[in-house]
Amino acid sequence: MNITVKVLLGMALGIIVGLIINLTGSNVSGTWVNSYLTNGVFHIVGSMFVNALKMLVVPLVFFSLVSGVCGIGDIRLLGRIGSKAFILYLITTAIAIATALFIASGLGIGEGMNAVSNANFSGKEAPSLSSVIINIVPSNPISAMAKGEMLPVIFFSIVFGISLLMVGKKAESVSSFVEALNEIMMKMVTVIMAVAPYAVFCLIAKAIANLGLDLLEQLLGYVLVLIGVLLFHLFVTLQIVLKVMSGLSPFTFIKKMRSTQVFAFSTSSSNATIPVTLRTVTERLGVKNSVASFTVPFGATINMDGTAIMQGVATVFIANIYNVDLGMMGYLTVILMSVLASIGTAGVPGVGLIMLSMVFTQVGLPIEGIGLILGVDRLLDMIRTAVNISGDAVVSVVVAKSEGQLNESVYNDPDAGNNIDVHLEKANA
Among 198, 172, 165, which residue's Cα sits nearest to residue 79?
A: 165
Express each pLDDT in 180-238 by its tens digit: 887 888 788 778 878 878 888 888 788 778 766 655 565 778 888 999 999 999 999 99
Work out the pLDDT band at 421, boundaries 50, 70, 90. Answer: very low
Fold exhibited by the domain 3-412: Proton glutamate symport protein (1.10.3860)
How would DSSP label each residue in 271-306?
A: TTTHHHHHHIIIIIS-B-HHHHHHHHHHHHHH--HH
Q: Which of 2-16, 134-148, 412-426 has the lowest mean pLDDT?
A: 412-426
Express each pLDDT in 291-338 by its tens digit: 888 888 888 877 878 888 888 888 888 888 777 777 777 788 777 777
Determine the average pLDDT of the residues in 266-285.
Answer: 85
Cβ atoms 348, 381 nearer than 8 A? no
The answer, yes or no, to whether residue 423 has pLDDT greater than 70, is no
Give the containing element (helix H, strand E) for 196: helix 196-211
Ordered by start, the domain boundaries in the chain are 3-412
Which of 16-20, 124-128, 423-427 shows the highest mean pLDDT? 16-20
Say which amino acid occupies 257.
Answer: M
Express each pLDDT in 63-95 by its tens digit: 877 877 777 667 777 788 888 988 898 889 889
Cβ atoms 318, 116 nearer than 8 A? no
The answer, yes or no, to whether residue 258 has pLDDT greater than 50, is yes
Express each pLDDT in 359-396 by its tens digit: 776 777 777 677 667 656 767 888 888 899 999 999 99
Q: What is the pLDDT of residue 147?
A: 81
The answer, yes or no, to whether residue 272 has pLDDT greater than 90, is no
The answer, yes or no, to whether residue 128 has pLDDT greater than 70, is no
Work out the pLDDT band at 422, boundaries 50, 70, 90. Answer: very low
How would DSSP label each residue in 148-169?
A: T-HHHHHHHHHHHHHHHHHHGG
Q: What is the pTM of this model?
A: 0.72
Find all residues with CB under 8 Å of 197, minimum gap 6, and list them.
3, 6, 7, 9, 10
> Distances from the Cα of 124 to the Cαs of 121, 319, 357, 358, 369, in angstroms?
10, 19, 6, 6, 14
The answer, yes or no, to whether residue 155 has pLDDT greater than 50, is yes
The answer, yes or no, to whether residue 354 has pLDDT greater than 70, is no
Q: What is the pLDDT of residue 218?
A: 58
Q: What is the pLDDT of residue 335?
A: 79
Which of 76-85, 266-275, 277-286 shows the highest mean pLDDT? 277-286
d(CA 40, CA 17): 15
Q: Which of 51-65, 122-136, 285-299, 300-314 has the lowest mean pLDDT?
A: 122-136
